[in-house]
Amino acid sequence: MGPAMWGGGDSMAPENMPMAEPFLGELQNLVRAHYPLIHISTHEEDRCLTAIRLLAAQMDKKVFLWSTSRGCHAMDPAEDVPAASRYRLADLTAAIEFFEKQVTTKARDDNGFIFVLLDPFPYLSDRSINPIYRRRLRDFAISIRTKSYQASCLVISPTGEMPVELEKEVTVIDFPLPSRAEITGYMNSLLDRLGTRTAITVDDDPGLTEKLVDAALGLTLAEIEGALVKAVVEDTHLTAEAVDKIFRQKQQIVRKSGVLDYIDTGSLALSEIGGLKVFKEWLRIRAATFSPKARGFGIEAPKGVLLTGIPGCGKSWAAKCVAASWRLPLVRLDMGKIYSALIGSSEEHMRHAIQTAEAIAPCILWIDEIEKGLPRPRGYIGDSGVSLRVLGKFLTWMQEKTAPVFVFATANQIDLLPPEVLRKGRFDEVFFVDLPSSAERREILRIHLSRVGRDPQQLDLEELVRLSGPEFLGDSLSLTGAELAAWINEALIHAFDRGADDLMMDDFRLIARQTVPLAQMRQEEIREMREWASMHAMDASAAIHRRSQLTPELGVLEGGASAGGLPSGELKDVAAPDP
Ligand SMILES: Nc1ncnc2c1ncn2[C@@H]1O[C@H](COP(=O)(O)OP(=O)(O)OP(=O)(O)O)[C@@H](O)[C@H]1O
Ligand SMILES: [Mg+2]
């Protein structure tokens, strides 16, 4: 079941729907400049054809369509190809010949043509046995370019990549998912139709349509209709419950996209992050800049943040807490899947992910381990071109994006990040998350003890802080946030196993003696990370800017030692004392 967009006649007719304005503008420019081949990658063929129909009407162009099943036909029935030859033209070379004939024999007052190829990739791909299709299309594209044909050839298809021979002739553009205005129009007409043609009653909650529209952002029109129909099949009275159903449908679709995941952030909040004061303050200030009021004040929505640092120190955790505290949906983009997906190209996946994120904006796009899939800078053999191109596409989008998509990226192996990632204009800030200081460990322990329903007052918190830091573990070592959380968990298991009424300090001591901290196993790596961070990142915990910018006074404050040589945890205690 799809939206009956070609049915015409009722309020759902394409003419009545607001259409993706920026897309139409871009396409119009390309057609006006006689770009020979334009590839529009979309699953929404109907909606895309509606846009093309609007454009053709505005520019007074004739549109011919080709598909392997229907052959050639005109978009305007009055102009149609005689039925007898329509099917003969199912062959792609015959169709292109037919197109070329239209152009070369056109009447003087004709304003030119738009030719549309629907799903031609099986003929064009490098794997197709017959090279004639590729060649014929290339000849045609070259003719459009060199002989100033009044024509453009559009290719519409949800997937597929142009063969190399055609790469130079083709321009790829995005067809955006329906905008809020489009969805509102569509939702209104759907509800109208349901109300007048079926036994379904629509709740007279005045905010209902708006809630449905919010939930439907990010879906195609067909998907919206599908979700809504599903909701009314289950209940003939349409209420706000349908919102949940649409929302669940959306989660499924985001999942189906293969590279994005909806993350449930439940009851988390910024206060669940222990330490990282500077980072949390930075976020607190940014939270308000999403509002219309901030926009009115002239503030652009923040682009995003890159969090690097020692494993287990709360990077991923922070992403969830931020989303929960800002009450924005959190969608995770898996870079690994972008490169490894079996169907479609990496570039397509990236395009699709960006589109989906923009469509559900405002949201947080979480890219965990952004460096995943990037080639190793030294000694790498293989195709580094694709991954750099995909990352390039992403960075360009970051720089230019206007949709309120806040990018929350994390990186573990910072040496893999190409310098472009760090350039100004991309991320608003790069933060480094170090091992937690004693004050931070205290906070993290408090948070996680509370999370397992234990009152931190009942335990010797200071002793726990001591056992998890340099005093007990040795030179500049401390447990990470992940290790602290695991420590509590292990201690609980131990207490339970010995049949105790509750946790005792001895449970913690026992586990502590058995633990080899990550910081000890990876000392060298941590040292390198800190060195990198001192040049490139802002400390997420200490109220100092990049350490390379330390003022002499701060240097004295830190005991006169250079930042690199200090046990960093303790450094932060001095620089950012807890209240
Ligand atoms: N600052 C913190 N405050 C509260 N909990 C924390 C903190 N840091 C870590 N944790 C706990 O440790 C767990 C693991 O942390 P997280 O997954 O965020 O680490 P990470 O920095 O993303 O590590 P990795 O580099 O391995 O992905 C979290 O789920 C959380 O329970
Ligand atoms: Mg992580």
Residue 141 sits in the same domain as residue 69 = yes
- Domain boundary (216, 231, 256) is at 256
Residue 120 sits in the same domain as residue 190 = no
Could you tell me which residues come within 8 angstroms of residue 498 by beta carbon, excluding any fewer than 6 positions away?
none
List phi, psi (to 5°) of 437: -75, 175
Q: Does the residue 556 lie in any domain?
A: yes
Report the mean per-residue pLDDT for the chain. Answer: 82
| CATH code of the domain in which 422 resides | 3.40.50.300
What pLDDT, on a 0 to 100 scale, did the predictor assign at position 375?
64
For residue 316, report the distance from its CA to the centre of ligand 1, in Å: 6
The secondary structure element, H or E, covering residue 115 is strand 113-118
Residue 233 sits in the same domain as residue 143 = no
Counting ligand 1 atoms within 8 A of each CB, the residue from 316, 437, 529 with the most, and so the one to mutate, is 316
Q: How confident is the model at residue 377 (pLDDT cuts 50, 70, 90)?
A: low
Residue 168 sits in the same domain as residue 276 = no
CA distance 281 to 91: 63
For residue 312, report the distance from its CA to the centre of ligand 1, in Å: 4
Total number of domains in the chain: 4
Q: Does the residue 13 lie in any domain?
A: no
CA distance to 322, 368, 488, per residue, from 265 (Å): 9, 15, 22
List pLDDT tens digits, range 139-170: 999 999 999 899 999 999 987 778 888 888 89
List phi, psi (to 5°) of 125: -65, 160
> What is the residue range of 480's domain?
437-579
Q: Does the residue 390 lie in any domain?
A: yes
* CA angle, 37 then 41 then 42, to 5°: 140
Q: Does the residue 2 lie in any domain?
A: no
For residue 539, report the distance from its CA to the centre of ligand 1, in Å: 17
Residue 87 sits in the same domain as residue 213 = no
Which position has the higher pLDDT, 118 or 376? Answer: 118
Nearest listed ligand to the Cα of residue 309: 1
* Contact criterion met (CB below 8 Å) for 557 and 540: no
CA distance 324 to 320: 6
Residue 144 sits in the same domain as residue 232 = no
Q: Does the residue 263 lie in any domain?
A: no
Which residue lies with its CA nearest to atom 12 of ligand 1? 482
* DSSP code per residue over 252-271: HHHHHTSSEEEE--TT--GG
Which residue lies with its CA nearest to atom 17 of ligand 1? 316
What one-letter code names the amino acid at 244?
Answer: D
CA distance 233 to 31: 44
For residue 268, report the distance from its CA to the centre of ligand 2, in Å: 16
- Domain boundary (256, 282, 316) is at 256
532 CB-contact burial (10 Å; exposed 0-12 / middle 13-18 / buried 19+): middle
What pLDDT, on a 0 to 100 scale, did the predictor assign at position 543?
57
- The neighbourhood of ligand 2, an ion, using CB within 5 A, equals 315-316
Q: Does the residue 3 lie in any domain?
A: no
What pLDDT, on a 0 to 100 scale, did the predictor assign at position 342?
60
Ligand 1 atom with least separation from CA of 410: 22
Residue 473 sits in the same domain as residue 405 = no
* Residue 10 pLDDT exceeds 70: no
What pLDDT, on a 0 to 100 scale, did the predictor assign at position 18?
52
Helices and strands in the chain, H and E counts: 26, 15
Nearest listed ligand to the Cα of residue 540: 1
The structure tokens listed for 72 are 């050639």
* Distance, CA of 469 to chain centre: 38
Adjacency order of strands within the sheet including 363-367? 260-263, 330-333, 363-367, 405-411, 304-309, 429-433, 538-539
List pLDDT tens digits, range 398-427: 888 877 899 999 998 888 888 888 887 789
For residue 8, report the distance from its CA to the centre of ligand 2, in Å: 51
Least confident of 15-29, 51-65, 469-483: 15-29
What one-letter code names the amino acid at 272?
Answer: E
Average pLDDT estimate for 452-472:
93
Alpha carbons within 13 A on the beta-carbon side of 555: 10
What one-letter code names the amino acid at 353?
Answer: A
List pLDDT tens digits, range 557-572: 232 333 333 333 333 3
What pLDDT, on a 0 to 100 scale, did the predictor assign at position 573?
37
Residue 428 sits in the same domain as residue 444 = no
Q: Does the residue 143 lie in any domain?
A: yes
Residue 330 sits in the same domain as residue 386 = yes
* Residue 7 pLDDT exceeds 90: no
The structure tokens listed for 542 are 């200490």
What pLDDT, on a 0 to 100 scale, did the predictor assign at position 35?
92
Q: How confident is the model at residue 22 (pLDDT cuts 50, 70, 90)?
A: confident
List phi, psi (to 5°) of 521: -70, -25
Average pLDDT estimate for 484-511:
93
Least confident of 105-109, 226-230, 445-449: 105-109
- Domain boundary (140, 174, 208) is at 174
Q: Does the residue 92 lie in any domain?
A: yes
Which position has the higher pLDDT, 257 or 395? Answer: 395
Residue 419 sits in the same domain as residue 451 = no
Ligand 1 atom with least separation from CA of 433: 21
* Residue 550 pLDDT exceeds 60: no
Residue 128 sits in the same domain as residue 215 = no
For residue 322, report the distance from its CA to the centre of ligand 2, in Å: 14
Residue 309 sits in the same domain as residue 207 = no
What pLDDT, on a 0 to 100 scale, did the predictor assign at position 217?
78
